[in-house]
């Protein structure tokens, strides 16, 4: 056993910065006046910025660390940069949104940072237990964040549901890990890989362990049939948390999912591909079809996020370089449009309207044309229509599928992408094609939506990302393609 | 790429300029506050665009099948996607048609659009960018992006400024076209892997694909293009969309969007999938003839003017697909000319309906009787457009339909004979419509209507001039097509064997055919 070296500690500097800042925020919180919680936000943003710079600086580096339990590699760095950016956006959005919801507590920023450090561990861990540790740190922080509106029953119900189902799925994941350990004698990804190579094909315990891992990760990425928690939790959680949940936690889970399945379970590829194809198709179908009947925009976006997990899963099913790059690109582009959409929902809440049901968007184009225009942009991007980021994301996923002779899967995906256009466009329809007449009596109607600089920044970045990356995705494509997992 | 002649004109990046000039106009609208100035800005943007596009005609070299005014730039590195543009004799007229109709649409919407004028003009100009882009793109992904980018502005044009049932019509239009386009996307990606890892349209046209592959791709292309044309039985979105759309929306939809389906068949299906195209010809020809008859038959029964014209479009576009899939020069050139004709004539008819709707707020034939007396100028224009639409010799449609029928007669006499029935039916429904509207008994309401003012005349006169120009002297319009059309056959490996004599004699016949 080697001792922890200075080099190792330096390489996890971004993680240390984020986790340290999280603890610092917890300590400083009681010392901060209740109307000065902004300072904690700025502190968190500063830590995220420093971690971002550090990660960016490490971009070209690649080294195993801590006796092979952890790795600094291009793959992890790509995800870390994405997660750091998303967390920063969530904090910018939360600053004003928390005040409005009267939940302006300093702990919020601490939990964001702590869950983020969990995610960063997840995407870089090369040992199942380390990944599990990161996953639990992320999940436990998220359980609390979901229930942050503690005086509202919906929020508490969501937190309880998320906690119970989440711990159950973590248990299943852990069970899978222990079975793998029992069969291969290792918990590191490389060790498991070597162990599987020495075992006979079709070993039942291995297959069971693989299925359990799929259940565990499937829950985190909200794949059917492990998606049941998603709509309730998305609806009940404060909108900022929903945004964080649907973007960051999904991205980190996909990152770990891919690393574990490609690096540790690469030997069982034919087995898990078969299972994942079924999961992937079911996810696309259920997500897109059930979203049609939703009347609550957050529930609709929840089902839409399930559907998008389905599209991203295509990349994992393909499981070659283009598939992995496709998933990375998909989650990065998905981050822009989903952050944008949830931000608009959160902003509307600020206007005094509830902003939760799709009906609340009625005639938005007349009341606030910029909010309507941005929502239009995010909706067509989610529907995958060019020239937006959503199209590029789907394009690369379909390229990967067709390149791997899974054209039929791409055809199923496009059919349900066409279905999805229906419910995304319904939002556009109520915004642009209905008179605000019937909503005119609603409380807060006509209130000008006051935007904080933070929210404006989030909206601008999201809109610019959706449009610019939709027109010129080359830099991001190159970044993703150069950061894929090394082939084994 | 040796198949592209790079832009040699005095205007650098002419096609790029044409594509993005409308977007520039949109950007300038951000600095304009008043509604009137926005209208002027939109009009002048579209007008300058039209004048610039005329340069394409004057500098166009009809002697070559190669893509002209070419531009190329690397866009996305992996997979290699390029910003490649160029036009040939197939796209030239469609671009000019687009740029001609957009300023007309702006003028036609001058008083008709009362709410959200800025947004309307933005949608219209963005449409123009996407439409010109579709006809210029030489990279399949670029083509697809422009192709899909049309959906949102068109959806908004129908859904925001449309009639009472606009929401249903808009979403129906959107979902029909989107479902087809998404299948096209998969087909494009499959072609990428089959055709040597390129999205270059010209390179893909040279590839050879296995029979089964061609069959799959053909139907995927069909899904996208046939919905746009629209071919029977995928036409059901069209009457709804036309009826609900504002005048400018109907004109754009009928005159340009429908052409894109036919353009797709001609640009992609035929050169890339020649064997499948030949193999499935019977299906397409049958559907075309069914569309001709069914559209005409349905048009007979309509009481709503816009619906009547919409069904007549289904019928007329049937001639276009018929002409394309008979695979001879007369047929294809007739189809191309018919695309242009249909754009001009049906655009004119929709403008006429819009003009009368602005006055009486009804599109029902029964509500608009006897306009000859109060509105003689209007009546004259309507009669001209109607006669052109039914293919009277001396008007544009006669030339196009005649060529298509000659082409199909060479291939299948029965089919040609049945298709001819469509022209007779067209005469029936159009003349009956004219009789009721122009020469019917004016009601109290219609008797006091104001005739067209110069501004309204200005939207119709250019189209009328073109109707007679093409009708009497179609050669300038046909000449640029020859090289490109025979190149399509060369790519199909068929040669243009049955060509020259009939075209030669056609120009000989035309003067005598004049009344």
The confidence band for B2, taking pLDDT boundaries of 50, 70 and 90, is low
A337-369: pLDDT as tens digits: 999 999 988 887 655 555 678 888 888 888 788
**Domain count within chain A:** 1
Rounded to an integer, the average pLDDT of B59-83 is: 87
A135-175: pLDDT as tens digits: 999 999 999 999 988 888 888 999 999 999 999 999 999 99
What DSSP string describes A258-305? Answer: HHIIIIISGGGHHHHHHHHHHHHHHHHHHHHHHHHT--BHHHHHHHHH
Q: Do A433 and B189 touch (CB under 8 A)?
A: no
Using CB atoms within 10 A of its CB, is residue A20 exposed (0-12), middle (13-18) or buried (19+)?
middle
B18-47: pLDDT as tens digits: 999 999 999 988 888 888 888 899 999 999
Residue A284 has a pLDDT of 93
Residue B19 lies in a domain: no
Residue A445 has a pLDDT of 54
Sheet strands (E) in A204-259: none
Residue A459 has a pLDDT of 92
**Domain count within chain B:** 1
Q: Which helix (H) or strand (E) holds B70?
A: strand B67-76
Rounded to an integer, the average pLDDT of A277-281 is: 94
Residue B49 has a pLDDT of 92
Per CB-CB distance under 8 Å, the chain B contacts of A362 are none
Q: Are A317 and A273 in contact (CB under 8 A)?
A: yes
Residue A435 lies in a domain: yes
Residue A26 lies in a domain: no
CA distance B357 to B360: 5
Residue B265 lies in a domain: no
A218-245: pLDDT as tens digits: 999 999 899 999 999 999 898 899 999 9
Q: Which two tokens stand for residue A368?
A: 């606030």
B82 - beta bridge partners? B74
Among chain A residues, the shortest Cα distance to B151 is held by A385
All residues at 6 or more sequence positions from B507 whose CB lies less than 8 Å from its CB, including other chains:
B474, B475
Residue A229 Cα distances to A161, A165, A295, B267, B428, angstroms = 7, 7, 18, 49, 63
Q: Which two tokens stand for residue B268?
A: 């992609």
Per CB-CB distance under 8 Å, the chain A contacts of B175 are 418, 421-422
- Of A325, A388, A421, which to mutate for an interface test with B (greatest number of B Cβ within 10 Å)? A421
Pairing of strands B4-6, B67-76: parallel
Residue A343 lies in a domain: yes
Rounded to an integer, the average pLDDT of A309-326 is: 92
- Show the domain range for A474: 268-488
Q: What is the average pLDDT value for chain B, to the nearest integer? A: 86
Candidate from A40-54, A91-105, A427-441, B343-357 with smallest mean pLDDT = A427-441
Rounded (5°) CA angle A172-A174-A180? 105
Residue B511 has a pLDDT of 40
Pairing of strands A63-65, A70-72: antiparallel
Residue A487 has a pLDDT of 64
Candidate from A307-311, A446-450, B436-440 with smallest mean pLDDT = A446-450
Q: What is the ipTM of this complex?
A: 0.91
A-B contacts (CB, under 8 Å): 85
CA distance A196 to A189: 11
Residue B242 lies in a domain: no
* Short-list B384, B367, B352, CA closest to B467: B384
The confidence band for A118, taking pLDDT boundaries of 50, 70 and 90, is very high
pLDDT at A329 over 50: yes
Q: Which residue has the higher pLDDT, A332 or A445?
A: A332
Residue B51 lies in a domain: no
Q: Are B350 and B306 in contact (CB under 8 A)?
A: yes
pLDDT at B54 over 50: yes
Residue A341 lies in a domain: yes
pLDDT at B510 over 70: no
Q: Which two tokens stand for residue B123?
A: 């949608």
Rounded to an integer, the average pLDDT of B143-169 is: 90
B 183-202 residues with CB below 8 A of A? Answer: 183, 185-186, 189-190, 192-193
Residue A355 has a pLDDT of 60
Residue B145 lies in a domain: no
Q: Do A429 and B151 touch (CB under 8 A)?
A: no
Q: What is the average pLDDT value for chain A, to the nearest integer? A: 89
B396-425: pLDDT as tens digits: 889 989 899 988 888 888 888 888 888 899
pLDDT at B495 over 80: no
Candidate from B217-221, B279-283, B288-292, B361-365 with smallest mean pLDDT = B361-365
The sign one gets for the Cα dihedral B464, B467, B469, B472 is negative
Buried b (16+ CB within 10 A) or exposed e, B238-270: bbbbbbbbbbbbbbbbbbbbbbbbbbbbbbbbb
Rounded to an integer, the average pLDDT of B307-318 is: 91
Q: What share of chain B in percent tops pLDDT 70?
A: 95
CA distance B417 to A282: 51
All residues at 6 or more sequence positions from B320 whose CB lies less than 8 Å from its CB, including other chains:
B229, B262, B335, B338, B339, B342, B404
Residue A136 has a pLDDT of 94
A464-482: pLDDT as tens digits: 999 999 999 999 999 999 8
Within a 13 Å sphere around the CA of A446, how many CA atoms are in the beta-carbon half? 6
Residue A4 lies in a domain: no
Residue B330 lies in a domain: yes
* B300 interfacial to chain A (CB closer than 8 Å): no
Residue B467 lies in a domain: yes
pLDDT at B512 over 60: no
Q: Do B78 and A403 touch (CB under 8 A)?
A: no
pLDDT at A440 over 70: no
Per CB-CB distance under 8 Å, the chain A contacts of B170 are 429, 433
pLDDT at B499 over 80: no
CA distance A130 to A123: 10
CA distance B168 to chain A (A): 10
Rounded (5°) CA angle B131-B133-B139? 135
Q: Do A425 and B171 touch (CB under 8 A)?
A: yes
B110-151: pLDDT as tens digits: 888 888 888 899 999 999 999 999 999 999 999 999 999 999
Residue B305 lies in a domain: yes
Strands in B81-87's sheet, in edge-to-edge order, are B4-6, B67-76, B81-87
Residue A126 lies in a domain: no
Q: Are A56 and A118 in contact (CB under 8 A)?
A: no
User: Given the structure tokens 């599987």, which residue do they identify?
Assistant: A196
The confidence band for A2, taking pLDDT boundaries of 50, 70 and 90, is low
A41-80: pLDDT as tens digits: 899 999 999 999 999 998 878 888 888 889 888 999 999 9
Residue A73 lies in a domain: no
Rounded to an integer, the average pLDDT of A4-14 is: 85
Q: Are A94 and A244 in contact (CB under 8 A)?
A: no
Residue A332 lies in a domain: yes
Q: Do B186 and A474 touch (CB under 8 A)?
A: no
Residue B498 has a pLDDT of 44
All residues at 6 or more sequence positions from A485 whose CB lies less than 8 Å from its CB, including other chains:
A73, A75, A258, A259, A262, A263, A324
pLDDT at B515 over 60: no
User: Pick from A380, A414, A473: which is nearest to B152 by CB?
Assistant: A380
pLDDT at B260 over 60: yes
The confidence band for B451, taking pLDDT boundaries of 50, 70 and 90, is confident
CA distance B213 to A143: 51
């Amino acid at each position: 056993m080697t001792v922890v070296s200075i080099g190792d500690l330096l390489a996890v500097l971004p993680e240390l910065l984020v986790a340290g800042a999280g603890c610092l925020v917890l300590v400083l919180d009681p010392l901060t006046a209740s109307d000065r919680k902004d300072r904690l936000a700025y502190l968190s943003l500063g830590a995220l910025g420093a971690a971002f710079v550090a990660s960016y600086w490490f971009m070209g580096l690649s080294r195993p660390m801590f006796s092979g339990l952890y790795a600094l590699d291009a793959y992890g760095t790509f995800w870390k940069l994405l997660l750091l950016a998303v967390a920063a956006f969530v904090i910018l959005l939360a600053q004003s949104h928390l005040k409005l919801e009267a939940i302006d507590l300093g702990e919020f920023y601490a939990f964001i940072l702590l869950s983020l450090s969990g995610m960063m561990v997840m995407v870089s861990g090369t040992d199942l237990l380390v990944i599990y540790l990161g996953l639990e740190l992320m999940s436990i922080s998220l359980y609390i964040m979901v229930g942050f509106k503690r005086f509202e029953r919906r929020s508490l119900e969501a937190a309880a549901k998320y906690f119970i189902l989440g711990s159950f799925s973590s248990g299943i994941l852990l069970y899978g890990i222990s079975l793998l350990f029992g069969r291969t004698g290792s918990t590191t990804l490389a060790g498991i890989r070597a162990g599987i190579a020495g075992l006979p094909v079709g070993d039942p315990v291995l297959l069971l362990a693989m299925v359990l891992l799929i259940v565990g990760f499937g829950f985190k990425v909200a794949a059917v049939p492990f998606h049941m928690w998603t709509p309730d939790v998305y609806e009940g959680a404060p909108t900022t948390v929903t945004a964080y949940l649907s973007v960051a936690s999904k991205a980190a889970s996909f990152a770990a999912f891919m690393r574990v399945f490609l690096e540790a379970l690469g030997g069982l590829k034919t087995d898990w591909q078969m299972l994942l194809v079924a999961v992937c198709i079911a996810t696309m179908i259920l997500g897109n079809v059930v979203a049609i009947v939703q009347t609550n925009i957050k529930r609709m976006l929840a089902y839409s996020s399930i559907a998008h997990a389905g599209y991203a899963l295509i990349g994992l099913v393909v499981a070659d370089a283009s598939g992995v790059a496709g998933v990375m690109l998909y989650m990065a582009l998905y981050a822009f449009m989903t952050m944008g959409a949830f931000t608009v929902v959160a902003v509307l809440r600020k206007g005094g309207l509830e902003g939760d049901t799709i009906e609340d968007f009625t005639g938005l184009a007349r009341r606030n044309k910029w909010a309507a225009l941005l929502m239009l942009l995010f909706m067509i991007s989610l529907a995958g229509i060019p020239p937006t980021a959503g199209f590029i994301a789907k394009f690369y996923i379909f390229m990967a599928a067709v390149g791997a002779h899974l054209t039929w899967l791409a055809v199923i995906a496009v059919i349900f992408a066409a279905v999805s256009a229906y419910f995304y466009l319904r939002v556009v329809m109520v915004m642009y094609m209905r008179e605000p007449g019937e909503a005119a009596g609603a409380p807060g109607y006509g209130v000008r939506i006051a935007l904080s600089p933070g929210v404006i920044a989030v909206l601008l970045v999201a809109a610019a990302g959706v449009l610019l990356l939709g027109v010129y995705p080359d830099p991001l494509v190159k970044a993703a393609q150069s950061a894929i997992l090394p082939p084994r | 790429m040796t198949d592209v002649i790079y832009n040699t004109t005095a205007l650098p990046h002419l096609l790029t300029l044409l594509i993005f000039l409308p977007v520039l106009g949109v950007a300038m609208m951000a600095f304009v506050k008043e509604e009137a100035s926005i209208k002027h800005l939109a009009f002048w943007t579209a007008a300058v665009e039209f004048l610039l596009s005329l340069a394409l005609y004057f500098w166009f070299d009809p002697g070559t099948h190669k893509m002209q005014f070419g531009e190329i730039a690397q866009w996305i590195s992996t997979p290699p996607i390029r910003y490649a543009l160029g036009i040939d004799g197939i796209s030239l007229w469609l671009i000019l048609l687009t740029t001609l109709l957009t300023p007309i649409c702006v003028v036609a919407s001058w008083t008709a659009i009362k709410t959200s004028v800025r947004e309307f003009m933005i949608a219209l100009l963005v449409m123009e960018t996407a439409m010109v882009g579709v006809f210029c793109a030489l990279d399949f992904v670029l083509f697809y992006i422009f192709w899909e980018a049309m959906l949102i502005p068109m959806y908004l044009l129908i859904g925001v400024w449309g009639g009472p049932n606009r929401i249903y019509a808009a979403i129906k239009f959107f979902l029909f076209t989107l479902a087809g386009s998404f299948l096209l996307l998969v087909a494009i990606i499959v072609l990428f892997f089959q055709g040597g890892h390129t999205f270059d349209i010209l390179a893909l046209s040279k590839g050879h694909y296995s029979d089964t592959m061609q069959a799959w791709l053909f139907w995927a292309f069909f899904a996208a293009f046939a919905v746009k044309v629209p071919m029977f039985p995928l036409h059901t979105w069209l009457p709804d969309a036309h009826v609900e759309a504002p005048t400018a929306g109907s004109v754009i939809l009928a005159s340009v969007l429908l052409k894109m389906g036919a353009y797709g068949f001609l640009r992609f299906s035929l050169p890339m999938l020649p064997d499948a195209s030949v193999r499935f010809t019977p299906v397409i020809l049958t559907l075309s003839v069914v569309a001709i008859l069914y559209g005409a038959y349905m048009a007979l029964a309509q009481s709503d003017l816009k619906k009547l014209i919409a069904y007549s479009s289904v019928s007329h576009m049937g001639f276009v697909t018929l002409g394309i899939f008979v695979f001879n020069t007369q047929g294809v050139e007739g189809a191309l000319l018919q695309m242009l004709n249909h754009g001009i004539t049906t655009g004119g008819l929709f403008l006429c309906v819009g003009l009368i709707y602005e006055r009486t707020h009804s599109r029902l034939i029964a509500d608009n009787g006897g306009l000859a007396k109060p509105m003689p100028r209007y009546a004259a224009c309507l009669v001209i457009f109607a006669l052109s639409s039914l293919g009277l010799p001396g008007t544009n449609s006669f030339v196009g339909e005649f060529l298509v029928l000659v082409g199909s007669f060479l291939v299948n006499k029965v089919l040609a004979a049945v298709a001819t029935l469509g022209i007779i039916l067209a005469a029936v429904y159009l003349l009956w419509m004219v009789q009721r509207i122009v020469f019917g008994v004016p009601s109290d309401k219609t008797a006091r209507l104001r005739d067209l003012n110069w501004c309204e005349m200005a939207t119709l006169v250019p189209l009328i001039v073109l109707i007679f120009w093409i009708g009497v002297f179609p050669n300038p319009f046909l000449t640029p097509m020859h090289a490109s059309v025979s190149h399509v056959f060369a790519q199909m490996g068929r040669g243009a064997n049955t060509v020259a004599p009939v075209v030669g004699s056609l120009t000989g016949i035309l003067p005598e055919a004049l009344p």
